[in-house]
Amino acid sequence: MTYCVGLRLDQGLVFASDTRTNAGFDNIAVFRKMHVWERRADRVIVLLSAGNLSVSQSVVSKLNEAIDAALQTRAFETTTPSINSCDTMFQVARMVGEAIREVRAVDGRALEEGGSRFSASFILGGQIQNEPPRLFQIYSEGNFIEATKDTPFFQIGEHKYGKPILDRVSRPDMTLGEAAKAVLLSFDSTLRSNLSVGMPIDLLLYTRDTLKLGEQRRIAADDEYFRRLSNGWADGLRDAFDSIESYAPERE
């Protein structure tokens, strides 16, 4: 299982993903689910993946192969389109969607005949040149939706345990630091309830209009800030619970 979150804020973008991959409960491994492309002063693109690991790795490989092919193109040839040549994040989302469909064309039938599901979902975010930062959720069919002011975050994978806290506190005018706090609390709830979502957590903060990667950090189980946050939240919830009067039966 997987848990990934992306937030689009006035000040930029925040991304987080867990790193646990499992094929059954007895076959667990650590894989990075956060993929990052940067061309300084031009674009920053971040892709979070959930679902079948072979599918999401193939999608990322296809995007990278297109970039490599473009680099090898000689001056007089037509440039191969890649996420580095797109003018907008919308075009990048289309390209990811197209890559998903190509992987499905190759692997989909065999997967389904073997009893597996072709499952893949992505959160895509970033900024290209003068465009504002944008955030998309891309489905396994290759279609996608974009985050708006009303819904500033997307989740993929095991999203239910961590959704209530994001619903309550996330607002577009949060600072990146507040948003990272909210995202890590959302992970804290998910990690407690679903063993197949596991630490470490990859966290990335992108500050609007910088067009370069900002804070990128891998948060392990012994991370000092995460421990304070987790304990502080446990205490805070306990206090909030205690501060509410108990239900008083009408008759006993």
List interacting residues with a second copy (CB under 8 A).
160-161, 163-165, 167-169, 175-178, 180-182, 184-185, 189, 192-193, 203, 205, 207, 214-215, 217, 225, 228-229, 232-241, 243-252
Is the CB of residue 203 less than 8 Å from the CB of residue 215?
yes
* Alpha carbons 37 and 219: distance in angstroms, whole number: 20
Nearest approach in angstroms of CB 197 to a second copy is 12
The minimum distance between CB 93 and a second copy, in angstroms, equals: 26
Q: How far is the CB of 122 from a second copy (least distance, A)?
A: 22
Report the residue number, 112 or 235, with the smaller CB distance to a second copy. Answer: 235
Report the nearest approach of a second copy to the CB of residue 233 (Å).
6
How far apart (Å, rounded) are the C-alpha atoms in residues 202 and 2?
Answer: 12
Q: Which of 202, 190, 195, 203 is nearest to 230 (CA)?
A: 190
Measured from the CB atom, the residue of 106 and 218 that comes closer to a second copy is 218
Strand partners, 17: 4, 202
Asked if residue 82 lies in contact with residue 70, where contact means CB atoms within 8 angstroms, the answer is yes
Output the CA torsion sign for 160, 166, 168, 171.
negative
Distance in Å, CB of 30 to a second copy, minimum: 22
Closer CB to a second copy, residue 70 or residue 169?
169
Q: Between residues 138 and 165, which has the closer beta carbon with respect to a second copy? A: 165
Q: CB nearer to a second copy: give 51 or 162.
A: 162
CA dihedral 32, 27, 158, 89 (to 10 degrees): 30
